[in-house]
A = this chain, B = another copy of it.
Amino acid sequence: MEPKLETKCSFTYKAWLGKISSSRKFKVVGDDACDFAAAECKHGLGDLAVDKNENGDFTVNLAVSDQLTAESFSLVGAADSLTITGGDKIGLLYGVYKFLALLRQNADITAITNITKNTITEKPAIANRILNHWDNIDGSVERGYAGRSIFFRNNQLNYSAERLTDYARLLASVGINQICLNNVNVYLESAKLITEEKLPDLAKVADIFRPFGIRLIIAVHFESPVLLGGIQTADPLDEKVAQWWQNATKLVYKYIPDLVGFLMKADSEFRSGPAAMGRTQAEGARPIAKALQPFGGIIYWRCFIYNCMQDWRDTKTDRPKAAYDYFFPLDGKFEDNVILQIKHGPSDFQVREPNSPLLGAMKHTPQNMELQITQEYTGQQKDLYALAVQWHEVLEHPVTETRNTRDLIGTDKEIVALSAVANVGDDENWTGHLLAQANLYAFGRLTWNPNLTPKQLTEEWIACTFGNNPKLLAPLTEMMLQSRSVYEKYNAPLGIGWMVNIHHHYGPSVDGYEYMKWGTYHRADTKAIGVNRTGIGTGYTTQYQPYVRDMYENIATCPQEILLYFHRLPYDFLLKSGKTVIQHIYDTHFEGVEEVEQFIKTWDSLKDFMPQVAHETVKERLFMQLENAKEWRDVINSYFYRKSGIADEKGREFYL
């Protein structure tokens, strides 16, 4: 069952699509092709929109033009009017949302006039902008911290159509155009989503999302031919298996003709897959990819494969190496419509990781970089954690001396898709922690434009949600931008990761995963901590391009905040900061708590700029975060004090 937060999380279903204030009246004009966009525009304007027979102060002209590419739009302004042109209906819709967002963010007439002085043209950076729900068909949500599923209950599609429409609008407003409703961990009942039993219901959800330019993906079970087809094997080289996938896929496209395709987690964490049958991942994907080709379908194939039954005594095997070891040799061997879905880091959405060396390494296989919006290891939507800051680092992470990860993103480049695990549930405000909405917002916007900075993204969300009063905007932006660093300070130190309570992953447990089979070890002893992952260690660094390899190999050039990911160091090792490793651990853990205390003060000062219920729900979470931060501080510091025997330079209290 999913963990259920007990706090009331009320604010608004509308999230950042809130009410716009203006003294102007807007008239929306356009031909039949623009009907849906016009309706959405009027919906967004609310009572500022006037009927076509009335006089408005400002005219919004809508048009579709094949001069623009699909999904793109332009806004061309004049004194009292604006023309929004889309390359297609969906592009037009995006243009409308852009216009509405600008209105929300600049809620006065001067601002609107300024906006409309300049022509704005936008197109998405890539075609595949994807949200992955980890919703189970029983209604629970794996790693969900915002209530139960908005799609499923009791092994069926079961939802409020009104709420899903709101959700589709929310996602479209930030550029998301693909969604997978069901968990990548597919079990028998969710495997049936591709059968006659469930497809009619699923098709109705597709109908809700379609006008918003959002198409469905279905996560499928590798053993489907066995589970659903009654075939003896799921061996991808078996002709009956190929035939079964063809028939199954045909049926799916009969119900959902614009389906994006399938998503597969195979050979991963006890999921079955081709490896168990002695087949490669490329062979495993082939029959499914081929079945999708007649329909223009894609299969997203996850690369999160590693030995989750590792003997902790084994110091040769190194989990971060696994994905590269499995997939790099297969470059070019996949069908063209297979897109490899690669987690941004080689571990698993930790607070601090390097990028996966697989990203950009494969030249003949398109890639989908997977991020995680749901805060599994990053505070579970009890703690404030603005992911935009971390994602910015991910995008800036070098691949070679001249290219960073952002440079890989593009329709004709290595990374053709961006996906993320949703942080949404049936809590009234969608995300449990109200400010965690900003993470969903930021992810969508980044898929559209990866050049947006954390500051821009955070300010946009705040202005859309609470308005643009600088007295709110400046301190709240600062607090949110700081939140990743604060969480990192009281979490596992220097990039080492994983020091969490097992299974649920909230709260500290330094040895929680240390003697287990998951391949996640810090190997701290009385003198030192960390695993040497250089060429003379596990060899993980050698999977990177030379520039990055050398950066991480060398203690002098390895960024301090990730030093223990790559190097085993004694507690008295002197960091560039001038502090020893152990003193760094002690200091950051005290600082983290103090900074959360400062968050509470900052938040208190913002009380007058938002509805009371919004202020209270976040305040409640900040107090939870304070408790969590203290627990981290005391457990981590006491653990290392007990282990190293080294006292704090400042003589602060540890617990024995």
Contacts and interface: CB of A to CB of B under 8 A. Distances in A.
A313 B631 CA distance: 10
A385 to B, nearest CB: 22
A527 B655 contact: no
A194 interface: no
A326 interface: no
Interface in A466-515: 502, 508-511, 515
A524 interface: yes
A639 B522 CA distance: 12
Interface string A585-623: 000000000000000000000000000000000000000
Contacts of A523: 642, 656
Contact of A644 (B315, B511, B526): B526
A312 interface: yes
A635 interface: yes
A644 B525 CA distance: 8
A655 B525 contact: no
B643 A527 contact: no
A645 interface: yes
Contacts of A518: none
A515 B524 CA distance: 17
Nearest to A631: B515
A426 interface: no
A126 B28 CA distance: 91
A504 to B, nearest CB: 11
Contacts of A525: 641-643, 645, 656
Contact of A643 (B515, B526, B631, B635): B526
Interface in A338-371: none
Interface residues of A, number: 26
A195 B645 CA distance: 60
Contact of A655 (B313, B510, B645): B313
Which of A508, A509, A524 has the largest number of chain B CB atoms within 10 A?
A: A509
B527 A645 contact: yes
Contacts of A642: 523-526, 643
A634 interface: yes
A635 B514 CA distance: 9
Contact of A509 (B315, B511, B631): B511
Contacts of A524: 642
Given A313-B634, A643-B642, A655-B312, A515 B508 contact: yes
Interface in A284-335: 312-313, 315
A502 B509 CA distance: 11
A515 B526 contact: no
Contacts of A527: 645
Contact of A511 (B312, B315, B510, B631): B510
A478 B419 CA distance: 62
B526 A645 contact: yes
A644 B502 CA distance: 25
A298 to B, nearest CB: 38
A266 to B, nearest CB: 24
Interface string A624-642: 0000000100110011011
Most buried by B among A508, A525, A634: A525
Contacts of A634: 313, 515
A643 B643 CA distance: 5
A614 B567 CA distance: 52
A177 B502 CA distance: 43
A631 B641 CA distance: 26
A601 B515 CA distance: 29
A584 to B, nearest CB: 19
Interface in A249-277: none
Contacts of A515: 508-509, 631, 634-635, 638-639
A513 to B, nearest CB: 10
Interface in A378-409: none
Contacts of A312: 655
A526 B645 CA distance: 6
Nearest to A636: B515
A655 B315 CA distance: 9
Contacts of A526: 526, 642-645
A42 to B, nearest CB: 51
Contacts of A645: 525-527
Contacts of A635: 515
Contacts of A643: 525-526, 642-643
Instruction: Give the one of A510, A527, A655 with max B CB within 10 A.
Output: A655
A582 to B, nearest CB: 12
Nearest to A526: B645
Q: Which of A510, A523, A526, A645 has the most CB of B within 10 A?
A: A526
19 contacts: A312-B655, A313-B655, A315-B655, A315-B656, A502-B502, A508-B515, A509-B511, A509-B515, A510-B511, A515-B635, A523-B642, A525-B641, A525-B643, A526-B526, A526-B642, A526-B643, A526-B644, A526-B645, A642-B643
Given A502-B502, A515-B634, A642-B643, 10 more contacts: A315-B655, A511-B511, A511-B639, A515-B635, A515-B638, A523-B642, A523-B656, A525-B645, A525-B656, A526-B645
Return the 6 tightest CB-CB contacts between A and B, nearest first: A525-B642, A526-B645, A313-B655, A515-B635, A511-B511, A526-B526
